[in-house]
């Protein structure tokens, strides 16, 4: 399977919101614009990222099988158990007792789990003991050197 996961915990549904300043305007990834440098509102990241708190948990990705989908070793994944998985979703699934993170796919008319790294073969689901543990809704990873998620 090659993508190992560490379950970190669930969303604390009774924790008070922790608002963070949200800058007004858009941040350009091209040429900078000094005109948009004001705080517009406050943003609660939990409310922004998690639609179903009681059905959501966090998991840490381990491995390189999903790198072309932007999921890297040690990334923090937000997983929602209330979403019905469909082909194309990135899912957390237990296959024959091993947890993995892969894209739910169909090849022909059969269900598979596929990696986004071409070094890994698709995993057929027929004939295996499979349980879906949820759909990955967000991925959080550090961009600055020395920071970790």
CA pair distance 105, 122, nearest whole angstrom: 9
Predicted structure pTM score: 0.76
Q: In this structure, what token pair is assigned to residue 13? A: 């549904």
Share of the chain above pLDDT 70, in %: 72
62 belongs to the catalytic site:
no
Task: Tell me the pLDDT tens digit for each residue of 78-128.
Answer: 999 999 999 999 999 999 989 999 999 999 999 999 999 999 999 999 999
2 belongs to the catalytic site:
no
Candidates 83, 17, 26, 69; CA nearest to 44 is: 17
**Mean pLDDT across the chain:** 82
The catalytic residue among 2, 54, 82, 102 is 102
For residue 120, what pLDDT is reported?
Answer: 94
């Amino acid at each position: 399977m090659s993508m190992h996961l560490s379950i970190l915990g669930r969303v604390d549904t009774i924790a008070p919101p922790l608002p963070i300043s949200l800058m007004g305007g858009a941040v350009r990834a091209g040429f900078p614009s000094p005109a948009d440098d004001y705080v517009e509102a406050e943003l609660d990241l939990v409310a922004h990222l998690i639609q179903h708190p009681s059905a959501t948990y966090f998991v840490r990705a381990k491995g390189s099988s999903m790198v072309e989908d932007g999921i890297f070793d040690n990334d923090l994944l937000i997983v929602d158990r209330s979403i019905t998985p469909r082909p194309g979703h990135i899912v957390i699934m237990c296959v024959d007792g091993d947890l993995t993170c892969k894209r739910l796919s169909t090849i022909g008319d059969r269900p598979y789990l596929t990696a986004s790294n071409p070094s890994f073969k698709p995993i057929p689901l027929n004939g295996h003991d499979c349980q879906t543990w949820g759909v990955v809704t967000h991925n959080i990873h550090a961009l600055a050197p020395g920071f970790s998620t």
